[in-house]
Amino acid sequence: MRKDYIWVIVAGAVIGALAVVLVKLGNPANMGFCIACFERDIAGALGLYNWEKPPLMIRYLRPEIIGIVLGAFITAVAFREFKPLGGSAPATRFMLGMFVMIGALAFLGCPLRMMLRLAGGDLNALIALIGFIVGAAIGVLFLRKGYDLGRTQRQGRLDGYILPAFMLLLLILLVFRVQFVEGGPILMSPKGHPGGEGSLVGFGLGVLISLIAGLLVGFFAQRARFCTVGSIRDFLLFRSTYLLAGAIALFVVVLAGNLLLGDFHLGFANQPIAHTAHLWNFAGLMLVGIGSVLLGGCPLRQLVLTGNGNTDSAVSVFGMLAGAAFAHNYGLASVTYENMWGQVVVVIGIIAVIIVAWINCRK
């Protein structure tokens, strides 16, 4: 086996093992890591949506997200791979980031959590996986037709520092538990809620463990170029199994961990933080698959690329935060058969990203 394959397999295995450990320490079941959900928590903590209405569990400056960006940034600087690049259709990327987040929240999980849910026995994630593959395949069709948002250019180093600096600021606000006004941002979930101050072995130690886990994910994902949608894209385009090997390794490790710890529960019903609206699980992740291919990487990959100094990915991440705020302000998350407006927006999102892809094709 080639050395690079061993590296990506190790990266996938480590990320999977960290996800299992975080769940045992208090993160929600089948949610050791979820980029979409955790970015949604950050948007809630910043007061970007009406925090009186949603459940209290969804407001927390997630150390895992902060750690991923900072871990990727430190790694990129250490290996001399920090190169600020950007300037490729920022408004379009912002919109694509919004729709990727809306699709993920319709399913209640990003592609990474989709794999974790499936490894925990949640068959709703199997439906979503099929939708994700279909969405990625649609994105690949447009890549073959010359889809391109324009050439990136070298940016000033300051531009590359913006999102890592933003994450460092969030970490300071989290550690010192800053509240600008009484009862307002920065908001924190209370004890007893996922992400709350007592959920992960106490607040202080929980922040430290989550931050270290995020730093490790950032390191391994940066070095191995780990990407969930990239594994499908590269296989369809080039028959490359490099990234696919990492994704499979992650799934196998999480599956083994759940079986050993008694956390594997096969079925559709009564799965943690999930719904059984199969059509919208499929459609939500199909939207994520198309949008992620058009952006050049899944939500995890976007975070890692910001650590490399990619300002286009930073715009996409801010778009995802805005998408989370939009989804929760207007009740679009968790798209079940009763959530009519959630269904409408998911369909609009699929149409919108296809139009973006079509307009930006050279053929």
267: left (phi over 0), alpha (psi -120 to 50) or beta: left
Residue 198 has a pLDDT of 45
Residue 195 has a pLDDT of 47
Sequence-separated (6 or more) residues with CB below 8 Å from residue 245: 5, 8, 9, 12
Residue entry with tokens 């929600």: 28
Residue 52 has a pLDDT of 60
| Separation of alpha carbons 140 and 123, rounded Å | 26
Minimal CA–CA distance to 323: which of 25, 35, 12?
35
Could you tell me if 285 and 80 are in contact, meaning their C-beta atoms sit under 8 angstroms apart? no
- Give the chain's domain count: 1
Residue 197 has a pLDDT of 47
Q: Where are the alpha helices (DSSP H) in the chain?
A: 3-25, 35-45, 63-78, 90-107, 111-119, 124-144, 157-175, 203-224, 228-238, 242-261, 278-295, 299-307, 311-329, 340-359
Query: In whole angstroms, what separates CA 51 from the centre of its chain?
Result: 21
Range of the domain at 81: 3-359
What is the value of pTM for the model shown? 0.94
* pLDDT tens-digit profile, the chain (363 residues): 577 899 999 999 999 999 999 999 888 899 999 999 999 999 988 988 875 654 545 788 999 999 999 999 999 999 999 999 999 999 999 999 999 999 999 999 999 999 999 999 999 999 999 999 999 999 999 999 999 999 889 999 999 999 999 999 999 998 888 888 776 667 776 654 444 444 565 567 888 999 999 999 999 999 999 999 999 999 999 999 999 999 999 999 999 999 999 999 999 999 999 999 999 999 999 999 999 999 999 999 999 999 999 999 999 999 999 999 999 999 899 999 999 999 999 999 999 999 999 999 987
| Separation of alpha carbons 98 and 236, rounded Å | 26
